[in-house]
Structure 1
Amino acid sequence: MMKILQLVTKRQYRGAEVFAANLSAELIGFGHEIIFAGLYKNDSDVLEVKGATNIDLIENKSGILSTKLVRAIIKLIKTEQPDVVQCNGSDTLKYMVAASYFTNKIPITYRNISTISEWIDSPFKLSIYKFLFKRVAHVTSVGSESIHDLIKTFNYPAEKTSVIRRGIPIKEVKSSQIWFRLRNELKLKDSDKIVMHIGNFSPEKNHIFLLDIFSDLKKENPEIKLVCVGAGVTFHSIKTKITEQNLEKTVFLLGFRKDIPELLSQADCFTLVSKIEGVPGVILEAASQKVPSVATNVGGVPEVLINGKTGFIINNFDKDVFKKHLIILVNDTTLNTRMGENAFKLIENEFNPVKNARKFENLYSRLSGKSGYKHKKLRILQIIQKKQFRGAEVFASQLSTHLQNSGHVVKLVSIYEGEARLPFSGEIESLKRNKLRRTFDPYGWRKLSAIIQSFQPDIIQANASDTLKYAVMSKHIFRWKVPLIYRNASTPSFYMKTTFTRNINAFLLKNVDLVISVSKASLTDLNSLFSFTKNKSIVIPVGIEEKPKIDRTISNSPFKNKEIFNLIHIGSFTKEKNHIGLLRIFKKILCQDRNVHLNLVGGGPMLANIKNTVDRMGIKNNVDFWGDIEDPQRFLSYADALLLPSLIEGLPGVILEAMYNSTPVIAYDVGGISEVLENNVTGKLVNFGDENSFYNAVREVKNDPEQTSLMIENARIKVNENYKNTDIKELFLKGYKELI
């Protein structure tokens, strides 16, 4: 159990404070102790967390720096001795940093909810905040754009940051009762449509823009009404303008309200027209009531609103376009229902409060040293097949580095020698075995056993089929007892065609303590082949490394002709990658459009055969072979599309890399690919084997930049939310812990 201090500006019903309260409630449910402290006293509508210690530190805000408030925080820290402090708001950070010089060292986290560069308006303020952030152990942000902005603005270490989304509680409301009450309150007809805006009344919320829109709608669509919820400095001036523009029967101001879910349940549409935003949680609150949104394209809006799927994003504050989409969304019942359902699914999948609270719990545990692993540094042995740039080896190396960075001791061993410089921060020891002897290699099995005897691991993880064979045979013959995990990165039925092969693999898998599959498809396929694996199988996907985006103004394209439309395929030259099918598709594209080029990255047993096929097809001048490359990021950043017509896949990391680097993906629907690619939403998903549809999908990506741009943005959001190695590592540690 940890004691966690949540510092908020005031215990009030505003976004940052409500989030901190909801997070605190989840953490209390996990068994932790929470102090929910407001810097200043709030006189009305006080926000409280059930089960927490709820306190205010001083009466009112006074001056630039209140020594009284600093002393109050020092006293609180010394009395309560929290394990970690989370600052929610700039004042909380300022005062906590000041107090930290007079207390024992406690990890300070800061929750960033805005685009920070937009309010750093002077060199002096910049220097002050750079100084403050030097005392911060970790910064969490509500979105990717805001965290990249913070890193760039303060030159803050990226490894000390993470994106943890808002958790949005889903509250069921009795809408029929509220329907009558709200319409009676506002004197609305049954046929009237409600567009709702919820937010503080301040200049950046841009209520004036809404009044201009509804002045037009009053004439054209008088049944569409605007209901605004909130209070603030511009409330009375907006109320006056409503009267001046004769909008009293079109625009309604409800003031401050606590019953937000109930009000949202009555909206036909939610709207946000802010000039500045971080990642607006109110759009997500609307989505929790199956209400789609129309919003201006500012800040992190695209991270919570998927254009064309959960509502509409309007660029450049175009009043006519905004008005048009409002009308469409409130009048088209079918579209409204579909987008509302999509918005609700987004909340369920990506903004789950329990899931995101667990991420905070893991962060606090790591920073405070109170981890769920009883302070023990795990000793982990990772076995890979070969030092090569292949998905299984690259991911195992990245995972091992993250495990080491978390304080665990990791040893990486390869069965066969190789030349690739894999992304592991330590040395990779090789057994230097001969592949021709892999069926029966007692000396190799004994050599692996000797490493295990010397290293004394708590967990052993075998990554790929040959590693499983060596680990199981070594364990079976030399009788070591370490728990063994097998990482299943494919759909094994593709390879196990004979009874003999299945029997061999059944024997191997019976000696495994846990199977970690990269996708649901991989898990289902394995379980269908070997039913006994059902009770020892879990899914943990592959992940991506967070890296700065490549700046094209200072970096050169790796391609020979960057003006042409460059298609790329990254993968080993093996049968299952289907290079022959890829070449047929590419030649068909060439027949219609000579302004394309195919770039093939990778090595493998079929490389020479594919080169000969390219010659025979007469497309040698249109195809480049790049061999194995250490880091595909520059290639993906400059590529116009990634093509993956594989015959079989588990969950290919290269798709996630492409999505992260804003490269559109076209792939066959095999294995776990559909778990990350949604057709026309995050990429192009083509029915397996349909080369004609694959060709058409490539043409659509090239010729429809608007849809392609939308898919790229949706894909980037999805991968940032669900597939970062910093989060994936925690899932592996949880699996290790439960197995031990």
Structure 2
Amino acid sequence: MIRVLQIVTYMGRGGLETMIMNYYRNIDRNKVQFDFLVHRQEEADYDKEILSLGGHIYRMPMLNPFSKSYFNALDFFFKTHMYDIVHSHLDCMSAYPLKIAKKNGVKIRIAHSHNKSQDKNLKYPIKLYSKRLIPKYATHLFSCGKEAGDWMFNGKPYTILNNAIDAMIYRYNPKIQNEIRNSLDINHSDFVVGHVGRFNPQKNHGFIIDVFNEIYKKNNKAKLILVGTGNGQQEIINKVNNLGLTDNVLFLGNRSDVNRVLQAMDVFLFPSLYEGLPLSIIEAQAAGLPCVISDNVPPECIKTDRVFHYSLEKPLDFWANKIIEAAQIEKKDTYDEIVASGFDIKNNANKLQNFYTSFCYGE
């Protein structure tokens, strides 16, 4: 059996972490096992499941490219844990663990791009510098999509690994829709807009609230479901309260049943500032939902005829009207479309498993 080291920030319920878990659940774990090198000390959402599937979790200090103690900890780890394959999901910062893995003789070193940009904060110049180092230390480059790969790897060849899902568990089901609405105290006649994503600048939650405020002015039976957590959540809660929308916006936090929660929505709103290839959009389409997204989201994520993308420069009222229009599209079973698009997990997991095993078994 091969043990592959997945290098992440932490295994919370974000898009890339959920993608890794989708693959982990569906590979043949008698042939390939995942271990995780994380950069947080606290327990994360998927940790217990990882342990139950036979994985190990190793904890590093927070990644700091200027910290000698961080690199010493990495060096000690790779000297005391032997891996033939490491797979890093740290975007621009993947260069640093891959550098130490190379130093310690790890044969296969994968850098995986999950975004086509980064937040424009104080760390942005460091990230731009760091991403240029990746080809020096990686043996293989993976990306969730074309735009993310082109941005991260600057013309170097890369392999696209789809952000695949178990399409069957997202399949549209009116019975589940009624069950979830009842559990959330949402009436059958309410108009429900939904979003799934971490509360960080990339996901543009402030814009979501502003658009929903316009929707509410047109329909006071409108409800907004927000799934996720993050550092920016309290700011958004305050904004909701200040607009008088407290009773109409549901903050559900992290959920282990996103596949069921999606069933309660009438339309999915996703106005991100940038994305790689968002898992949430694939999931929403698999649930049969019409989706209204920003044109910053790569068009490769559009796998059904029910996704509509618009510029964030358009007025809030424009967005509100387009969301209301999209909700007139009847939800339907899109399972066959998702499978045909190549985003069901079964075949994708086999491809990744074959990639890993080819280096160790010669398959």
SS of the residue 1:232 aligns to: coil
Q: Tell me the equivalent position of 2:15.
A: 15
Structure 1 residues 177 and 231 mapped into 2: Cα distance closer, same or farther (>3 Å)?
same
Please give the secondary structure, in 2, of the residue aligned with 1:146. helix
Are 1:141 and 2:140 matched, yes or no? no
Residue 248 of structure 1 deviates from its aligned partner by 1.9
Paired residue type of 1:370: Y
Tell me the CA shift for residue 358 of structure 1.
2.5
Q: For residue 362 of structure 2, what is the aligned residue in structure 1?
A: 371
- 1:28 aligned partner: 28
Q: Hey, what's the Cα distance between the residues in 2 that align with 1:305 and 1:83?
A: 36
Q: Say if 2:326 is the partner of 1:329.
A: yes
Partners of 1:97 and 1:44 lie apart in 2 by: 23
Q: Which amino acid aligns with 2:345?
A: P
Deviation, structure 1 residue 72: 4.5
Matches within 5 A, 1:214-363: 214-300=212-298, 302-305=299-302, 309-318=305-314, 319-330=316-327, 332=328, 335-337=329-331, 340-342=332-334, 344-349=335-340, 350-363=342-355
Cα drift, residue 256 of structure 1 = 2.4
Structure 2 CA distance for aligned equivalents of residues 181 and 299 of structure 1: 28
- Counterpart Cα distance in 2 of 1:51 and 1:76: 22
Secondary structure of the residue that 2:6 maps to in structure 1? strand
Query: What CA distance in whole angstroms lies between the structure 1 residues aligned with 2:223 and 2:11?
Result: 32
Please list the CA deviations of residues 671-726 of structure 1 after superposition, one character each: whole Å capped at 9, or x if unmatched: xxxxxxxxxxxxxxxxxxxxxxxxxxxxxxxxxxxxxxxxxxxxxxxxxxxxxxxx
Distance in 1 between the 2:69 and 2:262 partners?
A: 41
1:54 aligns with 2:53: no
Deviation at 1:352, TM superposition (A): 1.7
Partners of 2:320 and 2:267 lie apart in 1 by: 12
Tell me the alpha carbon deviations over residues 346-366 of structure 1, each in whole angstroms, 9 at most, x when there is no partner: 321210212222332343345
What's the TM-score once normalised by structure 2's chain length? Answer: 0.86
User: 2:160 aligned with 1:163, yes or no?
Assistant: yes
Distance between the aligned counterparts of 1:29 and 1:105, measured in 2? Answer: 21
Deviations 1:372-410 (A, max 9, x none): 1xxxxxxxxxxxxxxxxxxxxxxxxxxxxxxxxxxxxxx
- CA shift for structure 1 position 260: 0.9
CA drift of 1:291 comes to 2.0
Structure 1 residue 29 displacement after superposition? 4.2
Listed one character per residue, the Cα deviations across residues 178-233 of structure 1 (whole Å, up to 9, x for unaligned) are 63454453x33221121111111122221222222222222212233211111112
Give the 5 Å matches for 1:549-588.
none
Aligned-partner Cα distance in 2 for 1:117–1:35: 27
CA separation of 1:102 and 1:223: change in aligned 2, threshold 3 A: same
Distance 1:320 1:345, change over 3 A: farther
For the structure 1 residues 115 and 62, does the alpha-carbon distance in structure 2 shift closer, same or farther, using more than 3 Å as the test? closer
Alpha-carbon deviation of 1:103? Answer: 1.0
Q: Tell me which amino acid in the other structure corresponds to 1:347.
A: I
SS at match of 2:220: coil
Amino acid at match of 2:208: L
**2:209 is the alignment partner of 1:211:** yes
Q: How far apart are the structure 2 equivalents of 1:285 and 1:63?
A: 33
Amino acid at match of 1:149: W
Structure 1 letter corresponding to 2:108: P
Contact persistence 2:92–2:131 (CA under 8 A): no
Q: C-alpha separation between the residues in 1 aligned to 2:192 and 2:207?
A: 17
How many residues end up aligned between the 2 structures?
A: 355
- The code of the aligned residue for 1:168 comes to I
For the 8 Å contact 1:11–1:46, the answer to whether it is kept is yes
1:198 to 1:128, Cα distance in 2 relative to 1, 3 A: closer
| Counterparts of 1:115 and 1:276, CA distance in 2 | 7
Distance 1:104 1:172 in 2: 41
CA RMSD of aligned residues (A): 2.8
Q: Distance in 2 between matches of 1:360 and 1:172?
A: 21
Contact between 1:15 and 1:281, CA under 8 Å: does it hold in 2? yes
**Structure 2 residue identity aligned to 1:162:** T
Taking structure 1 as the reference length, what is the TM-score of the superposition? 0.44
Match for 1:113: what amino acid? H
Q: 1:177 to 1:33 in 2, by over 3 A?
A: closer
- The equivalent residue for 1:198 is 196
- Which 4+ residue blocks in structure 1 deviate beyond 6 angstroms? none
1:392-447 CA distance string (max 9 Å, x none): xxxxxxxxxxxxxxxxxxxxxxxxxxxxxxxxxxxxxxxxxxxxxxxxxxxxxxxx
Task: Summarize the Cα distance change of 1:230–1:205 in structure 2 as closer, same or farther, 3 Å threshold.
Answer: same
> CA, structure 1 residues 205+125, in 2 after alignment: closer, same or farther (shift >3 Å)?
closer
C-alpha change, 1:248 and 1:321, in structure 2 (3 Å) is same
Look up the SS of the partner of 2:347 in the other structure: helix
1:482-497 matches, cutoff 5 A? none
Q: Tell me the percent identity.
A: 22
Q: Which has the higher contact order (CA 8 A, sep 6+)?
A: 2
How far apart, CA to CA, are the structure 1 residues paired with 2:138 and 2:354? 17
